[in-house]
C-alpha cells in the first residue's frame, strides 16, 4: 500500500465514522469531519498532515511528482474542499442535512479508491492539469 492510498483509507473512514457519530449521537462530531477536510486540503499544498508523518514512519511508499503538483495532491485539494464546504454549510449556515450526503459520497469515494486505485476526483484532477505521480 502506498502512502497516498493509506491516507485516502484513513480519511474516508474517519469521514464516514464521524458523519455517523454526528447523525446518531451528537452533531459536534461534524467538527471532526471538517478537521479531516481541512487536513486533506492543506496536505494537497504542503504534502504534510499528521497521518502522513505516521505513514512515513511505517515506510509506506510515497509517490511524488517531479514537476508541478501530482494528481494525488489534486485529489486532496478537491476532496478537502468538498468536505469543508458541505460541513461548513451545515454547521454555520444551517444548510439542510442532505448536504452531508455529499460529504458521505466523498468519504465512500476515498475509501473505495484505496482498493480500486480510482475515484472521480482523479479524473477531475487530471483534467485540471495535475501530473501523474511516479
pLDDT per position as a tens digit, 28-62: 999 999 999 999 999 889 888 888 888 888 888 87
Spatial separation of the C-alpha atoms in residues 112 and 116, rounded to whole Å:
6
Cell numbers at 100, concatenated:
452531508
Contact between residue 87 and residue 28 where contact means Cβ atoms under 8 Å apart: no
**Mean pLDDT computed over 96-103:** 95
2: β partners? 61
Instruction: Give the model confidence (pLDDT) of 77-98 as tens digits.
Output: 999 999 999 999 999 999 999 9
C-beta neighbour count of 91 within 10 angstroms: 17
In this prediction the pTM is 0.90
Amino acid at each position: 500500500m502506498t502512502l497516498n492510498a493509506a491516507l485516502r483509507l484513513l480519511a474516508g473512514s474517519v469521514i464516514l465514522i464521524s458523519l455517523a457519530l454526528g447523525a446518531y449521537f451528537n452533531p459536534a462530531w461534524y467538527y471532526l469531519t471538517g478537521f479531516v477536510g481541512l487536513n486533506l486540503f492543506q496536505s494537497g499544498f504542503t504534502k504534510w498532515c499528521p497521518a502522513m508523518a505516521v505513514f512515513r514512519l511505517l515506510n509506506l511508499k510515497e509517490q511524488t511528482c517531479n514537476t508541478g503538483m501530482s494528481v494525488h495532491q489534486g485529489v486532496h485539494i478537491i476532496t478537502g474542499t468538498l468536505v469543508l464546504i458541505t460541513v461548513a454549510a451545515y454547521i454555520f449556515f444551517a444548510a439542510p442535512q442532505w448536504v452531508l450526503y455529499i460529504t458521505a459520497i466523498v468519504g465512500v469515494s476515498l475509501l473505495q479508491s484505496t482498493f480500486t486505485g480510482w475515484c472521480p476526483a482523479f479524473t477531475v484532477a487530471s483534467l485540471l492539469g495535475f501530473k501523474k505521480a511516479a
